[in-house]
Amino acid sequence: MSGKKKVLFLFDESPSGHIRFFEGMRMALGFSVTHPGLEILLLGDAVRSARELKPLEIGLPREMLEFFPLFVDLGVRTFLDADRLEKEGLLKDLPSYLLPLDARQIREKIRQADVVIPFSGPAREG
């Protein structure tokens, strides 16, 4: 029996929208060392990170490019909203280490987590 919690990092804003995305990825990387089986879920605008990023052009640190390869090496699985990927035109060219989920699978993934750590944009009025 493992005493480790099942941790899910949830992102829902564009990687170019705020440094919060980068900081969340850094935190997930750190957690992955002590929480084997940690998973990442990209919803909403966060699925845009599946595109080839040019971090310096959008004001993000160069290290942004290193996260997904490091996650693969550490066994961290990254899931994305399949519907949003399709709307963004990203579903067909998706790298094999990024795993699309439908709405039902997303709800189940969140339900199965012991801890969900959200990195979301500010609440919007209206």
Specify the CATH superfamily of domain 7-119.
DsrEFH-like (3.40.1260.10)
Domain spans in the chain, listed from the N-terminal domain onward: 7-119
Helix (H, G, I), strand (E, B) or coil at 25: helix
pLDDT of residue 120: 78
Supply 64's token pair: 């942004």
Tens of pLDDT, residue by residue, the chain (126 residues):
355 789 999 999 888 766 788 889 999 999 998 888 899 999 998 988 877 656 566 566 666 667 888 899 999 999 999 999 999 888 887 888 899 999 999 999 999 999 999 987 665 544
CA distance 84 to 27: 24
Torsion of CA 42, 27, 73, 16, to 10 degrees: 50
The pTM of this model reads 0.85
Q: Specify which residues 8 forms β-bridges with.
A: 39, 116
Helix (H, G, I), strand (E, B) or coil at 83: helix
